[in-house]
Structure 1
Amino acid sequence: MNSTTRFKLSTMMFLEFFIWGSWFVTLGTFLGNNLKATGGETGAVFSTQSWGAIIAPFIVGLIADRYFNAERILGVLHIVGAILMYQMYNATDVSVFYPYVLGYMILFMPTLALVNSVSFNQMKDPEKEFANIRVFGTIGWILAGLAISFVFHWDSAEGVTQGLLKNTFLLAGIASAVLGLFSFTLPKTPPKVSSSEKIKIGDLIGLDALKLLKDKNFAIFFISSILICIPLAFYYQNAHPFLTNVGVENPTGKMAIGQISEALFLLFIPVFFARFGFKKTILVGMLAWAIRYALFAYGNGAELSWMLIIGIALHGVCYDFFFVSGQIYTNSKAGERYKSSAQGLITLATYGVGMLIGFEVAGKITDTYKAADGAIDWEMVWIIPAGIAAVVFLLFAVLFNDKTKSEIEAKAL
């Protein structure tokens, strides 16, 4: 890969995740303070990510893979996304805000697959080259959080009171417009499938891979993946409002510690697989969810703020040890025929079904423990997902008993 192409792909990844990190992290706080949304309304807004994940395969599979170059679709989606971001910036009521964020997520979630497609099309050895490009996405997310906290101070106590968090949508909209225009300069990525070739809807969402559920252990993993996304939704929806509410300074910047942790712990996945195997690796990830939420439940923004920082830093263990190792396990179990279908099915189950349920549950729990004066019993809000994660951990530990070695374990050994 020449240096020009490498620069373009790295910039594309940086902007893609800078956009997402610019507004999604602070969304819960914005909804509660600027739009006075209830827990249920906040859950509905966050669930648009799940609807986007469910619809994304149809946009990519029916349009991007058959009719138009991936980089052109990427450009159009981000330009339209910039317009929707501006409408979200101007919204003054959650009922007005919701249709725009729903439309935006339906357009944005397919771009996650498109940036990968554009990147892979330029690589001779994706297993070695992709990580060096993808890391710029993590850097973009981190810098978005640092800018909001330490450059613009939109998430400071004064900034939140003044309603400055709405500016995050303006920032994301500008970055989206830039990426939209920049996309037309990216390397050409033509359709992979002939427009005349028949395509099955089941292929788009991985229904062919349902055959894998005949394997008892894979079925247990599949169900566990859905269940663990319920506590995951609590983090996305409530972490920033919680940190803001308990008085943590620069909460957006400090939440970027989670992305730094994610990048670092990714390096430990092969080591854990080789030494402990898949089951123990994924159990560590599940246990980390329970521990992190217990730290949130009993920590505070004063003398016990270290507990909150550790909870944020555990994001790398929570995400990498469960989701990344789960993707590797799925790949090894699927075989050549069902690899793509299996990954699509797991994505649909987790970011689609699992988190859709999770956001609904998180919204109802938050409303249940919200007093008439608006005060929230955060201890109970975090203890419940900690308990859910602990139950999933115990069920998986008892029921999962796969003696076969995955591809990555075999290679490592």
Structure 2
Amino acid sequence: MTSARRSTVLLLAAASLLASCGGSKDPAQKGGGRGPTGPAQVGFVVVQPTSVPVTTELAGRVTAYQMSEVRPQVAGILQKRFFTEGSIVKAGQTLYQIDPSIYQAQAAQAQANLQSAQANANAARIRAQRYRPLAEMEAVSQQEYTDVAAQAQQANAAVAQNNAAVQTARINLRFTKVPAPITGRIGRSLVTEGALVTTNQTDPLAVIQRLDPIFVDIQQSSAAMLSLRKAMAKEGVIPASATVRLVLEDGSDFGRTGTVQFSEVVVDQNTGTVTLRARFDNPEGLLLPGMFVRAQFAQAIDTQAFLVPQAGVSRDPKGNATVYVVGPGNRAVARTVIAERTQGAYWIVTQGLAPGDKVIVQGTANLRPDAEIRPVPATTPQKIAAPKGGGGAAGGSGQAKGN
């Protein structure tokens, strides 16, 4: 055989091989997505309504459980400070000593005035007792007895007035020792020994804050709260236990849960928010007043929600969520659903599904609406068979080479 004729035979064999390969693809392409063994196998899960918490994450700010500004109640020179800045102080513990000399003198003077008033009252009482029988015998006029009796009562009133003055002087003397109003951690001292303090001064002597337990004030928009209350008015949504978790500024979890104590009954006109206050145990003192945190908590429980694996939910360019369910005649049916949030590996679907729907979660990559499918439970392993005719193709290639 000449070289020209041999080349012609090889070209014809190659053309025949290409035609046979192209023909093997046509049936699959005409099948509209059907595999060589029939409809595509998909895995589904049967969904049922379940109770899902309506969780919220909001910004919050830490505030002290108790705070007290230590202020002087009498004026004078500060003689001594009795505490260490930044330490824990107990309620009633003496923090400062104000010069007591003036108040000691005032207390002594008040006590002396009281004794003088008591002596005058005793004399007036005895005089009135003596005048009584004389007035009965008409030895003295009734008016004279009335005047003496009135003097005795005035003397008793003077005793009561001076007694009150003694108590006031003793109180002022006691106030020269400035006590801690509450138990807590005290900050730096804002005055030094030798400073003049007054009862009407602007700055406190120090500030005490109780940090265990501690409060977190959470801000929620009035619109979000209104939406939640409307949802709770419908069937299937019930209040949840007010347990709160905190995410700290560095992204770590606080590690302890708190409880919501109350919600404000007014909306802040400047921010349009309502304040919720949560209480946390803070034995290590990790939370400090003024710190910003993120609060995560469930405000309600939706008892009619569906948990759908995230693989079964897709979204269009507009963000609308869609799932495929197994329809009549084993065909894929697209459903538009409402899925606004996730819980772990699941989307929480609140609208668009019914109890018992078979949601397709496997084999959705090339799925089209109304496509014929072979549904199996999602846990069933998928069988993948080798395409038929593979050996013949290989043999044809060998023959081509042989020719």
More helix by share: 1
Q: Do these two structures clear the TM 0.5 threshold for a shared fold by scoring above it?
A: no
**Structure ID, larger Rg:** 2
TM-score range, shorter chain: under 0.3
TM-score by length of 2: 0.17
More strand by share: 2
